[in-house]
Structure 1
Amino acid sequence: MSTPTISKPALYFLKKLEKNNNREWFTEHKDEFKKHEGEAKEFYNHLKELMENHDDIEKLKMFRIYRDVRFSKDKTPYKSHFAGSLSRLGAHLRGGYYLRIKPGETFAAVGFWEPNKEDLFRIRKEFEMDAEEFRRVINEPSFKKIWGELVGDGVKTAPKGFDKEHPNIDLIRKKQFIFVRNFTDKEVLSKDFINEVNASFKAVRPYFDLMSDILTTNLNGESLLD
């Protein structure tokens, strides 16, 4: 069985969809969409299989092409990309993986998009106490070469109850803890793209292992899962 790839016709279809984002055009080209959607699903499912060699993946979620326009100013009915997320198994494994395929704007993302208030508070308290290990993990050269800098939204000064002059306030003020890697169309069309994405996701394990340890223990290092 050959390794699934993203084809040039699939990227070209997404480009055409972006330019013709209306129900009439989409209905006329639905068979073509279904063909490329099937290829994308095959790609994401194989990626999940590869990842299960180095992580415990609970599920793969492929996002639908149809946009929810009820509360959006943008009323175009379709997304012009394929996307999927992979969640880790159980309460003891934290963090999530995401891959979006879009002409000129493909990226992989990992981390914590919307931690609940309890998890967010726990992370901030960890950084308030000590962020040395966290900084060491995210600044490790091989990790940084792939994933670059930590990104994500944050509060402007300091969360309630935290000192805005704290030496780790750059981390404490964050509401999201995300890393992003962008890919060119040439990289996406490469036969090695799926292996490159898998290797990038594998490289994130030291970060996920540390964050999982933080989120499953209290500040004394005692397990919260017992």
Structure 2
Amino acid sequence: MPTQDTLQFLKNLEENNNREWFQAHRQDYETAKASFEKLCHEILFGLAKVQDDLVNTRVKDCIFRINRDIRFSKDKSPYKKFFSAAFGPGGRQSGRIDFFLQIQPDNQSTLGGGMWEPTSTHLASFRQEIDYNPAHLKGIIEKEEFRNYYPYISGDKVKLMPKGYTADHPDIELLKYKQLFFYHKFTDKEVIARDFAQQVIEGCVILKPYLDYLNELFYDNV
């Protein structure tokens, strides 16, 4: 499980984001990585009880590499300043909408999921579904439990009206979204708590109806 040393390693890495420092502190990295892997194992074990298609998923397939892809980035820092994982059937490359966990110091750890960088076809399907049956999605994301746990939304909106819809549409604000990703923040104190894995699992259970909605819309009806 993550400890204060795990978070401290990530803070040190952010301040010394270069290969020389990383190699000199390789053992610290391996220890911190092992603590994150143990956390992910507990989370995946718990999620498999509520989502059958995760039963045969391996932890190592859920965890993202700490190395950054800097080929097309102005920021040439070689390493991420966080540990992250996606829990989906088969791991992070499930091709579906998965639970995403990020462990980052200074109270920046998050759990979330949702529509992010959708294809034009998926975005059109999302808007069409809202137009035809807004109550389904709103019944999920406007529940008090959901809104209290996931108060943060990450997602750009179109500046003008989405094509085919007018400004007086009753759900125009939902239709404007190009992404709709909900997330919950954890404090460092919560991350290093003994029950953190269970906290994440409970958060995933709250988020699951929204992810199921998207996966059914995008993939299950194809």
TM-score of the superposition, structure 2-length normalised? Answer: 0.87
Q: In the alignment, does 2:114 pair up with 1:111?
A: yes
Q: Give the match for residue 98 of structure 2.
A: 96
Range moving further from structure 2, 98-107 or 124-133: 124-133
Equivalent residue for 2:64? 63
Are the structure 2 counterparts of residues 216 and 43 from structure 1 closer, same or farther at C-alpha, using a change threshold of 3 Å? closer
Instruction: Determine the structure 1 residue equivalent to 2:213.
Output: 210
State the shift of 1:100 in Å. 0.5
Matched, 1:191 2:187: no
Q: Give the secondary structure class of the aligned counterpart of 2:88.
A: strand
SS at match of 1:76: coil
* TM-score of the two chains, using structure 1 as the length reference: 0.85
Matched AA of 2:40: Y
1:203 is paired with a residue whose SS is helix
3-state SS of paired residue (1:180) = strand
**Within 1, Cα distance between the matches of 2:4 and 2:152?**
30
Structure 2 regions of 5+ residues with no counterpart? none
2:3 matches 1:10: no
Which structure has the greater CA radius of gyration? 1
* Structure-2 separation of matches of 1:216 and 1:77: 34
Is 1:134 the equivalent of 2:137?
Answer: yes
Contact kept in structure 1, 2:43 and 2:197, CA below 8 Å? yes
1:156 correspondence with 2:159: yes
Aligned equivalents of 2:39 and 2:3: distance in 1?
11
Which structure 1 segments of 5+ residues have no match? Answer: 218-223
Pick from 37, 40, 63 the counterpart of residue 33 of structure 2.
Answer: 37
Task: Report the aligned-residue RMSD.
Answer: 2.1
Secondary structure of 1:62 counterpart: coil
Write out per-residue CA displacement over residues 42-100 of structure 1, whole angstroms, 9 at most, x where no aligned residue: 211221111001113274421111111121111111111100111247xxx95311000
- Percent sequence identity is 33
CA contact (8 A) 1:109 1:179 kept: yes
What amino acid maps onto 1:144 in structure 2? R
Map of 2:168 onto structure 1: 165
Residues of 1 paired with 2:38 and 2:124: CA distance?
39
